[in-house]
Amino acid sequence: MLYGAFGKPAPAPGPPRPLTRPVAGGLLPHFMSAAPASPAVSMDAIVALAKRRGFIFQSSEIYGGLNGFFDYGPLGVELKKNIRDCWWADMVRRRDDVVGVETSIIMHPKVWEASGHVAGFTDPLVDCKVSKQRYRADQLFFSPVIVEGAVIGYVSALESERTTEDLQAAAETLKRKKAVQGKLEPVAPRDFTEAKPEEVPLVPSPATGEAGSLTPPRAFNMMFETYVGALRDASAVAYLRPETAQGMFVDFRNVVDTGRVKLPFGIAQIGKSFRNEITPRNFIFRSREFEQMEMEYFIHPDADWLACHEEWLRWCQDWLQSIGLPATHLSLHEHPKEKLAFYSRRTVDIMFRYPFGVQELWGIAARSDYDLKQHQQHSGVPQVYFDEATKQKVVPHVIEPAVGVDRILLAVLCAGYAEEDVTDDKGNVEKRTVLRLSPRIAPVKVAVLPLLKNKEALVARARELHAKLKRNYAVFYDEGGAIGRRYRRQDEIGTPWCVTIDFETIEKDGTFTLRERDSMQQRRITEAELFQLLAEQVY
């Protein structure tokens, strides 16, 4: 097969017209078995590799860093760009029903009033008055400690994979400390948004372990404010966008009027978003400046929105696998009705198994006609689509797949990272660190290595091949050190193939040694075959 399903042109649509244009279904063939990350993979190892090999740095590091902000280094920026490019190619260019836009980061402040963000884009904030630490109330868990039916105190713990175990251990410690006899009941964790007013002063702060310093939760708006123009008063307040989505809604009429689009159709955008997160954490997973890839898929109000939602859910899962995320690391989380965001009829998150737990990667929301209706009301400009079939003006409904580029990047690093024992030809066992990145997104596709750097003919041929390859691909030329060491350097940054120019190349048949990253197997390959391999795998 030449291309994975996402590389193929979509089949021509035929009646009955589906809600979304057909995309080849099923799971995608993968070039390499993206092996599940070893269970031992730790965030420390990922962060260390990211820094060591120039993927990701702390922002403003020489000034001590700025919490929640990150910089992408030479390899990180390539990896990120490849993720964006794959998404754009599959979501926009290879489909007939999705167009792209790039809207401004600072929009008219009324956009955010209409969308509900000014009033409702809040997280529940809790302060510890003693330590000055701040917590998100929904990430701070507590429980009464009950012995023989009597409450002897409260324990608290921050959300983690082991919240219940941590609370139970703390409860046992408290019982011991207070020298209370009798049977300890299992803890009953609740998050701090559910604390009754009389419980608030009794819950210990996770920072100090002492009760009495936590404030009741209060709504904290996460939008960053700024001023537009020379005045610094309330009339000049504007916001850095907390999502790219509103750009697509606000430009809906512009696209309909100019884009020759017909329902159902989507408007997609990739761009930076900003949220003043109370607790940025887990490296780039939750940061204050991040990048989103969002698509608003507009459907007729009478269309089967649930079927459309399901279809996009499947598409997103398939796409994640097409860039190498193993299905074993993915799962779905259906938001319970009572916890849905204010705009949502149904939201399902695609979850990823990160080293710090199973967390949201991609949200697929059915937003009904909420946004267009809100903008219609607040702007006074009709946000309608003229339906040729019924000769009626309708306000379309929306299905929205919204994902963060940084979260995908972290997921591919975590899923691809492995430390392995490998045995060389002489039977020596050594460690190798390998990043199993799909060739679609790997920052370097091929490394070109002359076997010896002091043999002019080898070097000349290697440089010639390097120059040819780099017209189309990110390639790396490396002549320093033993060949095995050069392979290891490429393994660690996820380069799928190394090509060695050796004596057979220049003295015999012109073929190179192709060494595959995952299997570490080597075979002879011609230049034409190398280009064919790249054309098949890098799309």
Binding residues for ligand GAP (CB under 6 A) = 243, 245, 275, 277, 286-287, 290, 292, 294, 360-363, 400, 402-404, 406-407
Strand partners, 399: 297, 366
Give the nearer residue to ligand GAP in terms of CB position, either 318 or 491.
318
Q: How far is CA 171 from CA 16, 178, 201, 257, 347, in A?
A: 61, 11, 17, 63, 36
The CB-of-100 to ligand GAP minimum distance in angstroms stands at 16
Q: What does the alpha-carbon distance between residue 119 and residue 159 come to, in Å, rounded to a whole number?
A: 26
Instruction: Report in angstroms the alpha-carbon separations of 412 from 127, 295, 318, 416, 490.
Output: 35, 21, 15, 6, 16
- Rounded CA-CA distance 258/253 in Å is 8
**Measured from the CB of residue 400, what is the shortest distance to ligand GAP in angstroms?**
6
Question: Closest CB to ligand GAP belongs to which residue?
Answer: 404
Measured from the CB atom, is 251 or 277 closer to ligand GAP? 277
End-to-end CA separation in angstroms for the chain = 13
CB of 408 to ligand GAP, least distance (A): 8
Q: Minimum CB separation from ligand GAP for residue 452, in Å?
A: 46
Q: How far is CA 6 from CA 1, 10, 18, 251, 377, in A?
A: 12, 8, 18, 28, 39
Minimum Å distance from CB 245 to ligand GAP?
A: 4
Q: How far apart are CA 317 and CA 401, in angstroms?
A: 11
- The smaller minimum CB distance to ligand GAP, of residues 348 and 493, is found at 348
Nearest to 11 by CA among 126, 97, 128, 102: 97
Alpha carbons 19 and 311: distance in angstroms, whole number: 8
Residue with tokens 């019982």: 175
User: Cα-flanking dihedrals φ and ψ of residue 431, to 5°?
Assistant: -90, 140
Cis omega (within 30 of 0) for bond into 264: yes
Residue 242 has a CB neighbour count (10 Å cut-off) of 20
Q: Considering beta carbons, is residue 56 or 170 the nearer one to ligand GAP?
A: 56
Inter-residue contact 367 to 398 (CB < 8 Å):
yes
Question: Taking the C-alpha atoms of 480, 482, 485 and 487 in order, what is their torsion angle to the nearest 10 degrees?
Answer: 80
**Which of residues 286 and 466 has its CB atom nearest to ligand GAP in the complex?**
286
User: Least distance in Å: CB of 134 to ligand GAP?
Assistant: 15
Nearer to ligand GAP, 287 or 376 (CB): 287
Identity of the residue, 142 or 370, whose beta carbon is nearer to ligand GAP in the bound complex? 370
Q: How far is the CB of 143 from ligand GAP (least distance, A)?
A: 28
Q: Cβ of residue 470: shortest distance to ligand GAP, in angstroms? A: 32
In this complex, which beta carbon is closest to ligand GAP, that of residue 246 or of residue 513? 246
Nearer to ligand GAP, 144 or 247 (CB): 247
Residue 252 C-alpha from the chain's centroid: 26
List for the chain the helix, strand, coil content (%; round to 5).
30, 30, 40
Tell me how far, at minimum, the Cβ of 329 lies from ligand GAP, in Å: 15
| The amino acid at 221 | N
Q: Are residues 395 and 301 in contact, defined by beta-carbon separation less than 8 angstroms? A: yes
Angle between helices 43-52 and 405-416 (to 10 degrees): 100
Nearer to ligand GAP, 78 or 123 (CB): 123
Closest approach, Cβ 233 to ligand GAP, in A, equals: 29
Residue 16, preceding peptide bond in cis (omega within 30° of 0): yes
- CB of residue 293 to ligand GAP, shortest distance in Å: 8
Work out how close the CB of 72 gets to ligand GAP at its nearest, in angstroms, rounded to a whole number: 13
Q: Are strands 397-404 and 446-450 parallel, antiparallel or unpaired?
A: unpaired
Closer residue to ligand GAP (CB): 333 or 524: 333
Strand partners, 244: none
Residue whose CB is less far from ligand GAP, 189 or 404? 404
The DSSP output letter for 92 is: I
